[in-house]
Amino acid sequence: MSCFRTRLAYRICKVLFQISPSLHVLSRFLTPPLYLVSGRKDLVIRAQNFGVKSEPELIDMMESGKELPELNRNLYPYVEPYSTGILKVSDIHTIYWEQSGNPTGHPVVFLHGGPGGGTTPSNRRFFDPDFYRIILFDQRGAGKSTPHACLDQNTTWDLIDDIEKLRQHLEIPEWQVFGGSWGSTLALAYSQAHPDKVTGLVLRGIFLLRKKEIDWFYEGGAAAIYPDAWESFRDLIPENERSCFVDAYSKRLNSDDKETQYAAARAWTKWEMMTAHLLPNEENIKRGEDDIFSLAFARIENHYFLNKGFFPSDSFLLDNIDNIRHINATIVQGRYDVCCPMMSAWDLHKAWPEADFKVVADAGHSANEPGIAAELVATNEKLKNLIKNGH
C-alpha cells in the first residue's frame, strides 16, 4: 500500500507541476526527486541516474554547456520562417513549404500526421534553430497546400515523390527525417525508397498502417477505452452500416452534400482528437469543430486507410527494414497511446533492434505530451551531437 501511495503522489505532483511551477516544493517528498527547472515551461526532469542532489545542481549541469543527449530538454522557443514558398508538384497539386532556423545548418524535414493534418508553428520547436535548417511542408490537400482536401493524385507514392521534389528544389543533398503517427509511416516509406538521402530518423507514435491497426481504432478496439467518445463517432452511422466504419464514413465524406461531408468530418476528427492525449486536451479537441481543418483531416485519412496506405502488402514497411537498417534511428512511443497502440512500435523494434527504442511510461499519442516532447528533443540533441562529431 505504501508503494501505491508513493506512486500516486508522484503522478499527482507531476500533474500539479504542469499546472503551477510554484508547487515544486512537493518534489522533495518524492523518490527519486522530480525537479521543475524554473524558466523552462513544460520541462519536468527526473533526476534519477544523473547523480543530482538538488535543483541548483541540476540547473548548473544544464547551463554548463556540457551536452547530455540522454537528458530530457525543453522545447525550443518559437521561431519564424526565413523563407516560404509554393511548389507545384503535379498538374493539379501545389504544396506549401517553409524554412526556419539556421539557413546553413543541418537540414531536417518534418513529416506531419494524418494524413491531412498539416503543419503548425509549434512543429518547429523540436529542433535547435541554431543548428538545424528546419523544413516543414503541408502534404497534398492539407494545410496551405492546394487543392484543399483533394483526393485525386493523392497516394503515399505521390507524397514520396513530393518529398524528393522539395529536397531537390531546396538544393539539399541529404537530410534528417522526423515524423510522428502517419508521419512515421511516411518517414519509413520515404527512407526505404531513398535511404541514401537520409542522415537520421526520428519516429514517434508508430503507425505501420496494417489492417489490425485500422481495425483497432476505427472498428471498436479503442472504443473499449473511450466508450463515451466512441458513441458520437458510432452514432453518426446507421446500425445497418456499422460492419465497417471506414467504408461508412467514406460514403459521407465524399457525399455531394457539403453539410453531410462536414458532419462526418467533425465526428471523425473529434474521435481522434479526444483520444490523442493521456489527459484530455480541450484545445486539441476543439480542432474537430473547425470545418476546414476537419474536412481535409478526415477525407484524406479515410482515403488512405480505405486504400491500405497504397502499400502492396500489409507488412510492407516491416518487410523492407533492411533498406534502412544502417540509418541512425530512434523510435519514441507513448505507453498508453490509444491511436497508434504500442504493438506497432514493438513490432518495429523487434524487426529493427538496431534503432534506439524509447517508451514514455506516462504518455498517450500526441507529440505535445510533455514526456514525449522531451524525448523527441533529447533525440534530436543526440543526433545533433553525432553530426557535430562527424558520425
Residues annotated catalytic, as ranges: 181, 337, 365
CA 110, 114, 118, 119 dihedral sign is: negative
Do residues 245 and 230 touch, judged by C-beta distance below 8 A?
no
Query: What's the CA gap between 251 and 320, in Å, rounded?
Result: 33
Q: Is the peptide bond before 147 cis (omega within 30 degrees of 0)?
A: yes
Cell of 22: 510554484
d(CA 126, CA 373): 7
| Phi-psi map region of 310: left, alpha, beta (phi>0 left; psi -120 to 50 alpha) | left
User: For residue 106, what are the contacts with CB-CB under 8 A and spacing of at least 6?
Assistant: 131, 132, 133, 175, 176, 199, 384, 387
Say how many C-beta atoms besides its own lie within 10 A of residue 129's C-beta.
19
CA–CA separation, 241 and 251 (whole Å): 11
Task: Please give the full DSSP string across 38-65, using - where no structure is assigned.
Answer: TT-TT-EEE-TTTT--SHHHHHHHHHT-
Distance of CA 103 to the CA centre of its chain: 24
Sequence-separated (6 or more) residues with CB below 8 Å from residue 290: none
What are the helix (H) ranges across the chain? 2-19, 55-63, 156-169, 182-193, 211-218, 227-235, 245-253, 258-275, 282-286, 291-306, 316-319, 342-351, 370-388
Q: What is the DSSP string of 272-304?
A: HHHHSSSS--HHHHHGGG-HHHHHHHHHHHHHH
Q: 86 forms bridges with which residues in the sheet?
A: 96
Do 370 and 42 contact (CB within 8 A), yes or no? yes
